[in-house]
Chains A and B, each alone.
Chain A
Amino acid sequence: MNRAAFVRAVKGGLLGGVGVIYFALVGMIERLDTLSIVGSVELSWLLILGPPFIAAYVLARPRVEAGEMRSASASRALWSGGIVGLVSWGLVAIGVGLVQWIGIDTVRSVFRSVSPTLIQILTLHHPVWPGILYLAPIVVLGALAGGALPLLPRRVRRPIITASGVVLLLGLLQQLVPPALDQLHIQRNWLYSNVTLGLSWIGAIVAFAVTFAITWFLQDRSLRDLVAGGPGARDRPGAEARVRTVLLVGWLALGAVLLAMPYLVGPVVARDLGFVGIYLLLGLGLNIVVGYAGLLDLGYVAFFSVGAYTTAVLTGGQLNTYKGLAAPILGAHLNFFLAIPIVVLVAALIGVAIGAPVLRLRGDYLAIVTLGFGEIARVIFGSTWAKNLFGGSAGMTHITDAAIGGYSFRTELHFYYLALGFCALAAFVSWRLQGSRIGRAWNAMREDEQVAEAMGISTIRYKLLAFAMGGAVGSLGGALFAVSIGSLTIASFTIFVSITALAIIILGGMGSIPGVVVGALILIGLPGVLTPLQDYQLLIYGAVLIVIMILRPQGLVPNVRRSRELHEEEVQQDAWMRPVEEGEVPVARGIEA
């Protein structure tokens, strides 16, 4: 291990330690200590071991050096893992020592979260000395695991990651899965402990083993081949029909699960899922603009508010005025489902109106301008100038429930179905567009706008189309939002909506419909069922975005092409350093070379 690698490992360790201390100071470690994941291992341990683990993992990952991917040797990866662990622990130990030396009450007057409980967690409920020493092997082991992970062959590594993820998820969903299993009359005492409420050790091991086995079996095989009856069987007669049948059965099963969901998880979670649906619509819409067409839109909340306010005005929403309720000018009393086509149309037109002035802008400039448009929308809807239409800062209320012949959609269960229907529609539209001539044109435009134009694609037309389609889908989310609570104020349409929608597609994977679903479930759904996390929602968004961008920029469930793009850029950045092989011509960029 050379000096440079040593220095890098120490730096990594320092970063890991700072991460742990940060989590401690914001109070997350203590807060999440009440939440058991497996046995008596609490979620707080994820925060204590996570930063050193990630630091060691990043150090041991294959890295791009001089235009080539190079992996670290086993000894170097493990050594740097060990050093990372020790340094991280050292930093935490120094912190604990300082608190002891200064006196916990003095520290607490500044850092509110430094409590005796926190110190107890970090010293494993032993006296501070030697308790802090007991933490060392645990942190070092965590960092060693992070360093060892990239060393494992891909065939082993991927099932391990997936299985660990599933165990963690099952642990996190402890308020969700047990009641569902009870509803189905499935014995679940072996899986979840009644004492800690988290997974039992046996349950965790079984869940890990099962997921590991399934992932191991499925990897590098296409499901299509398996269904058709073995590799290469795809072309045999009848194989295509069989694949189609299995796909159909799969979709029907998924549909049945989704339909039964509210009865399995209860009304509270069903309401959360309905809320996930609203953001899923925003994610799907933004995915068209950003993921497909490559136009970074930071003002997406504009479409959310357009959808919500248009719905409110059209379905008989009332203005809050100081004299009481008043009908908005231009107001109508349409049924929700009659209003929706108009809402979608209005949003598409607004999309074109926003798109038209920014046609020539790209990248950062486009992002800034759209950011401005998002704010403009908020200001207009909240302005006194448009008070007779949208109610100004007091907002609107009495928005009629979306109802078909007396069947109300405002109860949790029914709203879930409404959201499900809208999401299914939006996902279907996205899917059809993605695989079509239109999707190809967007793709080409995203990869190289000028060349796309020179190949016959009207980039003006397709940019406007992306804004229109994205706006239309996003407005569905706004419409749902309006009828879900029946009243609107401008406070709901801040830039955080745009940021959340963007975070969803970044986490899930840009351009990937399953990715958007996963992103919405994790970012919106998980805090809903994990009450201790709610206080830290924005912090978690930020952390998730940073970690994803560094470790997996293509997202959790990536679109194949998108992940190619990111990987390619990474290699190309350093490609000039690679010695040019004989007969090879370096590929430059720029049309006028």
Chain B
Amino acid sequence: MSPALLELQGVTKRFGGLAALGGLDLQVDDGEIVSVIGPNGAGKSTMFNVITGLYAPDGGNVVFRGLSLVGRPPNQIVKLGIARTFQTVHLFPNMTVLENAMVGQHSRTKGRVLATIVRTPGVREEERVIRQRATEALDFFGARLSGYRQDQPAFVLSYANRRRLEIARALATQPQLLLLDEPTAGMNPTETLELRDHIKRIRDQLGVTVLVIEHDMRVVKGVSDRVIACDYGRKISEGTYDEVASDERVIEAYLGRRHEEIG
């Protein structure tokens, strides 16, 4: 068996006395779509923040393609091939849609200072490539973010389009692994189903491995090769959607135990 693309080994993260992650083990293989579910406060977003370097873990290790990510700044982790979206939309609202996506290309390009000032042929070519790749990333969502919308500031976009742009910006970093934090939160049912198909296409067409936190079970069921359920910062169940959905521990985490069982 080839080593996993991403592996979390007993990762812990405490905020004061609260253990947001209590020794989390998790593994994502190349080419998979893995969903992470769990009730609010289960530590799912904390896990993303630890993987992408926004938080330093208190213990354990995060290994990506055989390299430990612990201690690396977020921008390095992007460069290694992990991109993410945020639970609440975090665009650069006053930059245009295209510029937002162009920022995604940052880690794949050089742009030296002196060469930029002189605007050497190399810099011009690079700028052309940045623009082209950003446009490609936007075109992934069909007409939603293309055409005249490219030159609009991001804050005029509809809520669903902001979500899409965030994904496009992440795709523009040319990642191997994409972390999506509740990508369908706040979307209406049509948009949700559309996005479900997009998540599949991200893997099938672009070959990007996806790790997704999601609450909408139709999406989880529709996209996941594997589902991981968390609670209190620990993995409580893992397997196919049906296995996890019928796991008693998962039901208990969401709904609690029957009164007579406790008594």
Contacts and interface: CB of A to CB of B under 8 A. Distances in A.
A591 B173 contact: no
A454 B113 CA distance: 22
B104 A456 contact: yes
A295 to B, nearest CB: 17
- Output the residue of A454, A562, A564, A589 with the most chain B CB within 10 A: A454
Give the bracket for the number of chain A residues in contact with chain B.
Answer: 35 or more
Tell me the dominant secondary structure on chain A's binding face. helix
Contact of A444 (B95, B113, B119, B188): B95
B50 interface: no
A443 B92 contact: yes
B126 A437 contact: yes
A447 B93 contact: yes
Interface string B115-133: 0111100010011001000
Interface residues of B, number: 50
Nearest to A591: B86
A75 interface: no
B92 A564 contact: no
A220 interface: no
Interface stretch (A29-37, A181-189, A457-465): A457-465
A448 B88 CA distance: 13
Contacts of A458: 73, 75
B89 A587 contact: yes
A591 B87 contact: yes
B52 interface: yes
A561 B94 contact: yes
A436 B123 contact: yes
- Output the residue of B92, B107, B186 with the most chain A CB within 10 A: B92
A453 interface: yes
A460 B111 CA distance: 16
A592 B46 CA distance: 8
B88 to A, nearest CB: 5
Interface string A559-593: 00110110010000000000000011101111111
A451 interface: yes
A448 B86 CA distance: 13
Contact of B49 (A432, A564, A583, A591): A591
A326 interface: no
Contact of A457 (B52, B88, B106, B170): B106
Interface of A: 428-429, 432-433, 436-438, 440-441, 443-444, 447-448, 450-460, 465, 469, 561-562, 564-565, 568, 583-585, 587-593
Given A432-B119, A455-B170, A589-B88, 20 more contacts: A433-B113, A436-B116, A436-B127, A437-B102, A437-B106, A438-B116, A440-B102, A447-B92, A450-B54, A450-B90, A454-B54, A454-B86, A455-B107, A456-B79, A457-B103, A458-B75, A459-B75, A460-B73, A564-B153, A565-B94
